[in-house]
Homo-oligomer: A and B are copies of this chain.
Amino acid sequence: MASREKSSEARAAGSGEEIEVRGHIVDSLLLPKILDRILQMGGTFEIRECRIGVQRSDPSYARIGIRADTPEAVAEIIGDLVEHGASPVHPEDVRTVPADVAAAFPENFYSTTNQRTQVRVKGRWIDVEDQEMDCGVALDAAAGRARCIPMVHVELGMPIVVGHAGVRVLPEERSRETSLFGFMSSNVSSEKPKAVSLQGVADSIRATRADGKKVLLVGGPAIVHTGSAPHVARLIREGWIQTLFAGNALATHDIEQSLYGTSLGVSIAKGEAIEHGHEHHLRAINAIRRLGGIRAAVDQGVVTSGIMYECVKQGVDFVLAGSIRDDGPLPDVVTDVLVAQDRMRASVRDVGFALCIATALHSIATGNLLPAWVKVVCVDINPATVTKLADRGSFQTIGIVTDVEPFLRSLAAELTAGGAETGPGA
């Protein structure tokens, strides 16, 4: 068969290509995954060396020869495996090409993952900064620094990494301890013990604050519809949230509740159907536009409670990103989505934990920006939303299928119960 013959030619041509993997490659499923990828991509493998750790704490090692029909095919396979944590046995320095079109990458650019990445410059491995998936890597060889750069920020002549040579990825290993979080990562289901999930989230938030990192809340308007705004306001007021990503809808509904909640008799408290609510919504936006923005509305005593009020009062860094379905919008909404992405990019730098509540759009956008080592918990009553988000990062995102209001009520009670002594500090 022709392909067999080609294959044996390739065998000679490609015989020098060898990769190695180290670590808990068996029980982290890394080795099987790598072998699977090779075959999927049309290659064949030969395990040339394999040392399995005798005890669980012992690392394992494998050296694997890879063959395919053409050198290009071998290169493509290796490029793929590098992203899973394998390294070529004989590493080279990273290669760059100056950007030949502004706001676009050169041909054959290296496309980033959200995993810790290093590039090899003059024989030395240096960390890639600002790790973010779906970017390129810009190299400042003089300064010995490399960083992730989004496509739209590429400037003419900027040296951009191409190919996979000289790039290595250090994937997060699945945590080995049995932690409260362990069980949840296994799969998404509404039929899980719920008290345990809550405790896990509360503990993570406490640990993040103790660690000096920021907690990010990414929230959708259902937070307000379900009557959960006071719980979130309380979490903000007591210092448990430093950053908020949301859209026009959450902010507007929250402000509408503050402005009209009681006076029109259509209250979250009574739960009556708000048939005319859409108009209040528009009037709330108009009122804030007339005042010049949310901060002005708080400063002038017009908005006196709610999530956005607490954000202003506590100095929470908030980004309200625009969407084509927005009414109004509020003057604080960033209507250009590339500008909004840059604002969010800047705000996630110190985030240690992200809690995504009842929003697919903003949660996915946030997930696109976060490096793989930031833990993300997504809470939604719809299992499809949770699955979609949790599927993106293997160990990073934990999904909890539950009702938003009782979850946030219990979380606020758990974190704010003990008062000052359990507070997150000044």
Contact = CB atoms under 8 A, between A and B. Distances in A.
Given A152-B328, A190-B403, 17 more contacts: A26-B26, A47-B52, A48-B54, A151-B282, A151-B286, A183-B273, A187-B391, A190-B222, A190-B382, A192-B225, A192-B271, A193-B226, A194-B403, A197-B271, A322-B338, A324-B341, A326-B337
A27 interface: yes
Nearest to A100: B290
Interface string A382-416: 11100000010000000001110111011000000
Contacts of A48: 54
14 contacts: A27-B36, A40-B272, A46-B54, A48-B54, A103-B289, A111-B279, A133-B278, A134-B282, A190-B222, A190-B381, A191-B226, A192-B226, A322-B337, A406-B410
Interface residues of A, number: 106
A285 interface: yes
Interface string A312-329: 000000000111111111
A346 interface: no
A42 interface: yes
Nearest to A198: B406
A178 interface: yes
A60 B161 CA distance: 39
Contacts of A227: 193-196
Contacts of A321: 324
Interface in A132-191: 133-134, 151-152, 178, 180, 182-184, 186-187, 190-191
A70 interface: no
A99 B83 CA distance: 57
A169 to B, nearest CB: 13
A93 interface: no
B56 A44 contact: yes
A365 interface: yes
A64 to B, nearest CB: 10
Nearest to A322: B337
Contacts of A410: 406
Contacts of A329: 338
Contact of A183 (B271, B327, B344): B271
Q: Which 10 A-B residue pairings sit nearest by Cβ, starting from the closest?
A: A406-B406, A196-B271, A193-B227, A104-B289, A194-B405, A403-B403, A191-B225, A324-B365, A322-B337, A325-B365
A271 to B, nearest CB: 3
A52 B53 contact: no
A195 to B, nearest CB: 6
A361 interface: yes
A32 B26 CA distance: 6
A109 interface: yes
